[in-house]
Amino acid sequence: MVQHVVDLPDKEERNKAAKSLIAIMGNLNPHLRDVNDFKHKLWDHLYIISDFKIDIDSPYPIPLREVINEKPRRVLYRTDHIRYKHYGNNIELMVMTVAKMEESAEKQAYIEMIANLMKKFYLTWNKEAVNDDQIFKDLSTISKGAINIGPEMKLSETRDILFKNKKKNKITKKKF
């Protein structure tokens, strides 16, 4: 159909045929109506299908072949080493940020929240019980000794965390 439009000798006829072809393309792809500016996308597709040979009056700027054929930029991935992959890089960033804070009740609250989150992540990825002392040791290692927690801090119970994880998994499985 596109080749037929390209081969039409009169530009007026090509414009009418192109508008009809755009309407057909829109009917064949109704899901495109949910996309912002779907008409513009259809006109671009018409040019691409015709290999940019179609000579019509488009209501939108004609797409450039170079822009469409341009390769995407290479995504640079982080190359830094994450020592505790089950905690992730964000936990390490949070620990380092809290380690730089001045001593206060707010800092202690952050430390407790991060430690509980670390315990949750540990249990999520390792599926075995963990002693709070292990979490405190990891927290101290990640902070390069800036954060040291005594035995007075109590973290969430392992069974509570595992129960919440199981409950969340059951709810997710039921939806699918």
How does pLDDT run across 147-171, given as a tens digit for each residue?
888 777 888 787 777 666 565 555 5
Q: Which two tokens stand for residue 168?
A: 């969340």
**What is the Cα–Cα distance from 11 to 47, expressed in whole angstroms?**
15
Q: Which two tokens stand for residue 63?
A: 């797409």
**What is the Cα–Cα distance from 84 to 143, expressed in whole angstroms?**
12
Helices of type H across 10-131: 11-28, 38-49, 65-68, 89-99, 105-126
How many C-alpha atoms does 137 have within 13 Å on its Cβ side?
A: 5
24-54: per-residue pLDDT in tens? 988 888 887 777 788 888 899 899 999 888 8
Domains in the chain: boundaries: 2-68, 89-175
pTM: 0.51
Question: Above 70 in pLDDT, residue 2?
Answer: yes
